[in-house]
Chain A
Amino acid sequence: MQINDNKNEYVKKVAASDYKYGFTTDIETEIIPKGLNEDVIRLISAKKGEPDWLLDFRLKAYRHWTTLTMPRWAHLDIPDIDFQDISYYANPLKKDGPKSMDEVDPELIKTFNKLGIPLEEQMALSGMAVDAVMDSVSVKTTFKESLMEKGIIFCSISEAVREHPDLVRRYLGSVVSPTDNFFAALNSAVFTDGSFVYIPKGVRCPMELSTYFRINAAGTGQFERTLIVADDDSYVSYLEGCTAPMRDSNQLHAAIVEIYVHDRAEVKYSTVQNWYPGDKEGKGGIYNFVTKRGLCKGVSSKLSWTQVETGSAITWKYPSCVLAGNNSQAEFYSVAVTNNFQQADTGTKMIHLGSNTRSTIISKGISAGRSQNSYRGLVRVAEKAENVRNYSQCDSLLLGDKCGAHTFPYMDIHNDTAVVEHEATTSKISEEQIFYCNQRGIATEEAIGLIVNGYAREVLNKLPMEFAVEAQKLLQVSLEGSVG
């Protein structure tokens, strides 16, 4: 991957950058009162006009959630969260759903323009279909009509509940059960919106599907839910981007992504996560507690997670794959950058249930400032899974002596035909390399950018082109000020 050609401009950008997505949008927003109980859940469900089965789904999840306590096993220092001090529904006000771009609130369009994702432009130029989720509600899905011609469904999950109830009912919670974990239960109880994708049998989705998530309103949590179903022999590449305004208080984001992959289907899921990480003193920022899991149910199915994680004050996230179908394959490619007071505990789980299943894990952690960055991963080979192969490589790069880099892999092997390999290294950024760059006239800050991008290249290469460029910039921006 090529580093930005125009170096001067690049340096300027870096120098000027704090958190460039840190604006708020002045949009009338309907926020329900803070607090969580069964009435709130009934209210959310009623506001969304949901069928009874979905309300039941939520209530069951809520009742289970009340029996759980927040997980503390991660290498994270998580302050107590008052779940009654959060508003669980914030809706940018509108009368009816927009029928065309003209009807979308101009302020909202401005927001997306600031985000660098002008919907119109995206529609025209990049051929990308975008579902933008602002706070909790899906605002606009582009390109829906042209996707519909191929039978592809790409819409907000609320719409999917209305228009495709059978599909949603069949798959919702089939990969991440509402009782899976504390945050999954919470999300299942209160999720307000998100995206739904269905790719019919034999269809290759002709464009990248993309969702931008943004938390806007203060004092709210965001609980979106993404459900992707790839039917037999289909293919889809899905991108997810996240930003949030700068606020002094912490905000909670607890999402679920479920992916169901049928026979010989392939799903690529890419994330560039850039939630507000808090300021240089560690004030504010998003708590990003996300459950992402894909089920390779079908034979020879394939799932690939790629993530570039630069934002959030605290990240707790393990995009996982259950390889149930024989000959299925899974990949996890991750770059996680932490700076200042950020904390990340992220990694993956590869659960091999089927025979001849393969998985690859490549994780690149970069820690700077006073941050703590942990890789946590599990490779499990079930008793009946023959000829499983896994290769994991987890590298950590340290910038500065106040930060931490940690690696916690778990290998549970229950079958003698498995070959499972794990390698990890931790090292600091090479002073020789920086000096070499200096000697060639490249400033240290930029040299670090170069070196870090080179270090992360294996992962960045997995991203679709549009995202790769943004991700490269993000890496540089996130590490700004990390050298003393």
Chain B
Amino acid sequence: MTKPSDMNASPERQYVDLFRQVRPMLARHSAPEMDALRDEAFSFFEAKGFPTLKDEAYRYTDLRLKFAIDYGMNLNRLEVKVDPYKAFRCDVPNLSTSLFFVVNDTFCARPEHLTALPSGVELMSLREAAAKHPSLLASRYGKLAGQSQDSLTAFNTAFVEDGVFLYVPDNVVVEKPIQLINVMSSTVDMMANRRILIIIGENAQAKLLVCDHADGEANYLSTQVAEIYVGRNSVFDYYELEETTANTTRVANTYLSQDASSNVLVNGVTLTNGTTRNHVNVMLEGENAEIMLGGIATVDRRQHVDNNTVIQHRVPRCTSHELFKYVLDDEATGAFAGKVRVNPGAQKTSSQQTNKNLCLTKQARMYAQPQLEIYADDVKCSHGATVGQLDENAVFYMRQRGLSKKEAMNLLMFAFVNEVVDFIRMDALKDRLHLLVEKRFRGELDRCGGCSKCKYE
């Protein structure tokens, strides 16, 4: 393992120095298609630095302190010692998923799971993909993320060595949901820079569930950049479920491009975490494309969840629905910023965004920032945001029927959150989440100290 050099006054310094030191190693341990973008991304990061609270998109989450920690990075590609299939058992029951792991930043697969995929479907590490499909990688890798002016995406592009590649060819339907488990596992403080590239062809269908877990007491920081291309008439579900630890920082930037008549569902659930900053950027590039973007955060203690979303209607006749719900307890902080941008000429756009938040204590904080930027006139766009408490009349009504105050509040909180859960198009996951959310509110779902300990079924 290579450690970043000593911390200097600016949190960027150690990474800038590290990059120069390990530049050749980064090239050796990745693929030429990935390496080709590295220097430009690094220059961008070096010039811009980590985002500060003065950056509009990061005004609610200060990540500089998180990056200042002296993490290890597995740049030498030391082999993962544990077999995740043995050590972690956090699969959602009855999901019968094809199960794969990313331990820190290393992709792990068992052959039997790979062969179970329909023929033509490719699931492998990015380095393997570069060897097998160099032109696909060259034409798609970094192309969506590269459009962003985000310095953390640039940071990821500069340091990433490997990641996950999923390819579903035209006219292929993957019936079984695919599950990918990100595990942060280390005895020392650890940073992982992960990358996901997903290409769904035309008339294809797939469902992917990505779970984030962290093991033990170490400080973790993960950056993840996902690029997702969904072709014409295809249907794709992308679920993210985070159950990590108070010492875990997650920075996940997801870039999604949708072609005509595609239908995509993105749903992100934060059940337990430390600091989370998710950015989802949806580009609707073909007419009649439809996106359903949802999110849940149930946070307490000093947890912090910031969902920053952008939906770009670039062509006419697309539809977007967005629904985010937060329940904030103790001293937790929630932030939601949702921008819907309708480009000139994107007529007949229909867009609806809702953000609802419950603050349960005085110390909880919520920042909501729904935004509409509209440059076409024949559109139907709306957004609504609320911050409030549970309906007192409903609580009283339920108490009059004999429910305790706590039980009445719990029922109302499930109902509040389940509106988002119900969007999920995977019944097993939906049932599982109903249960997890309920346990979460009852306080029965303790901090996930690592998946091997997850025995709450």
The answer to whether A and B belong to the same complex is yes
- Seen from chain A, the residues whose Cβ lies within 8 Å of a Cβ on chain B are 73, 75, 383, 396, 398-428
Q: How far is it, in angstroms, between the C-alpha of A425 and the C-alpha of B353 when the chains are bound?
A: 10
Interface centre among A406, A411, A425, A426 (most CB of B within 10 A): A426
Q: How far is it, in angstroms, between the C-alpha of A416 and the C-alpha of B357 when the chains are bound?
A: 10
Q: How far is it, in angstroms, between the C-alpha of A413 and the C-alpha of B334 when the chains are bound?
A: 10
Q: Are A403 and B377 also in contact (CB < 8 A) when A413-B387, A420-B386 are?
A: yes
A407 contacts which of B357, B361, B371, B379 (Cβ < 8 Å)? B371
A426 touches B360 (CB 8 A): no
A406 contacts which of B357, B371, B386, B389 (Cβ < 8 Å)? B371
Contacts of B360 in A (CB 8 A): 416
A400 touches B374 (CB 8 A): no
Contacts of A401 in B (CB 8 A): 344-345, 347, 376-378
- Seen from chain B, the residues whose Cβ lies within 8 Å of a Cβ on chain A are 56, 344-345, 347, 357, 359-362, 364-389
Q: Are A398 and B377 also in contact (CB < 8 A) when A412-B367, A418-B387 are?
A: yes
A409 touches B370 (CB 8 A): yes
Contacts of A75 in B (CB 8 A): 373
A407 touches B377 (CB 8 A): no
A413 contacts which of B365, B372, B378 (Cβ < 8 Å)? B365
Q: Can you name 12 A-B residue pairings with CB atoms under 8 Å?
A: A401-B344, A403-B375, A403-B377, A404-B374, A408-B371, A412-B366, A417-B389, A418-B359, A420-B387, A421-B385, A426-B372, A426-B379
B377 touches A400 (CB 8 A): yes
Interface centre among B345, B347, B365 (most CB of A within 10 A): B365
B362 touches A409 (CB 8 A): no
Contacts of B381 in A (CB 8 A): 425-427
B388 touches A428 (CB 8 A): no
A282 CB, nearest partner CB in chain B, Å: 17
B388 touches A399 (CB 8 A): no
A427 contacts which of B359, B366, B380 (Cβ < 8 Å)? B380
Nearest-CB residue, chain A, relative to B357: A413
A422 touches B375 (CB 8 A): no
B361 touches A423 (CB 8 A): no
B383 touches A427 (CB 8 A): no
Q: How far is it, in angstroms, between the C-alpha of A409 and the C-alpha of B372 when the chains are bound?
A: 9
A422 contacts which of B364, B367, B370, B376 (Cβ < 8 Å)? B370
Q: Are A405 and B365 also in contact (CB < 8 A) when A73-B56, A426-B381, A427-B380 are?
A: no
B389 touches A422 (CB 8 A): no
B369 touches A408 (CB 8 A): yes
B401 CB, nearest partner CB in chain A, Å: 25
Q: How far is it, in angstroms, between the C-alpha of A415 and the C-alpha of B378 when the chains are bound?
A: 39
B388 touches A421 (CB 8 A): yes
Contacts of B384 in A (CB 8 A): 421-424
A75 CB, nearest partner CB in chain B, Å: 8
Q: How far is it, in angstroms, between the C-alpha of A402 and the C-alpha of B343 when the chains are bound?
A: 10
Nearest-CB residue, chain B, relative to A404: B375
Q: Are A428 and B377 also in contact (CB < 8 A) when A401-B345, A408-B369 are?
A: yes
Contacts of A396 in B (CB 8 A): 372, 374
A422 touches B385 (CB 8 A): yes
Q: How far is it, in angstroms, between the C-alpha of A419 and the C-alpha of B366 when the chains are bound?
A: 12
Contacts of B377 in A (CB 8 A): 398-401, 403, 428
Nearest-CB residue, chain A, relative to B349: A426
Q: How far is it, in angstroms, between the C-alpha of A75 and the C-alpha of B371 when the chains are bound?
A: 12
A419 contacts which of B56, B345, B369, B387 (Cβ < 8 Å)? B387
Contacts of A399 in B (CB 8 A): 377
B310 CB, nearest partner CB in chain A, Å: 13
Contacts of A415 in B (CB 8 A): 359, 362
Contacts of B366 in A (CB 8 A): 411-413
Q: How far is it, in angstroms, between the C-alpha of A398 and the C-alpha of B387 when the chains are bound?
A: 29
Nearest-CB residue, chain B, relative to A418: B387
Contacts of A400 in B (CB 8 A): 377
Closest 6 CB pairs of A and B: A398-B377, A411-B368, A416-B359, A428-B377, A426-B381, A407-B372
Interface centre among B368, B370, B376, B387 (most CB of A within 10 A): B387
A424 touches B370 (CB 8 A): yes
Contacts of B388 in A (CB 8 A): 418-421
A68 CB, nearest partner CB in chain B, Å: 14
B374 contacts which of A410, A418, A426 (Cβ < 8 Å)? A426
Contacts of A409 in B (CB 8 A): 368-371, 385
Contacts of B383 in A (CB 8 A): 407, 422-424
B31 CB, nearest partner CB in chain A, Å: 40
Q: How far is it, in angstroms, between the C-alpha of A425 and the C-alpha of B382 when the chains are bound?
A: 4
Nearest-CB residue, chain A, relative to B328: A416
Q: How far is it, in angstroms, between the C-alpha of A404 and the C-alpha of B376 when the chains are bound?
A: 7
Q: Are A416 and B361 also in contact (CB < 8 A) when A398-B374, A404-B373 are?
A: yes
Interface centre among A75, A383, A408, A411 (most CB of B within 10 A): A411
Q: Are A423 and B382 also in contact (CB < 8 A) when A413-B365, A413-B387 are?
A: yes
Interface centre among B360, B361, B386 (most CB of A within 10 A): B386
Nearest-CB residue, chain A, relative to B334: A413
A162 CB, nearest partner CB in chain B, Å: 43
A426 touches B382 (CB 8 A): yes
Nearest-CB residue, chain A, relative to B60: A412
Nearest-CB residue, chain A, relative to B333: A414
Nearest-CB residue, chain B, relative to A391: B386
Q: Other than A404-B374, A411-B369, A426-B382, give 12 A-B pairs with Cβ distance below 8 A.
A: A401-B347, A404-B373, A405-B374, A406-B371, A408-B369, A411-B368, A414-B365, A415-B359, A416-B361, A423-B382, A425-B382, A428-B378
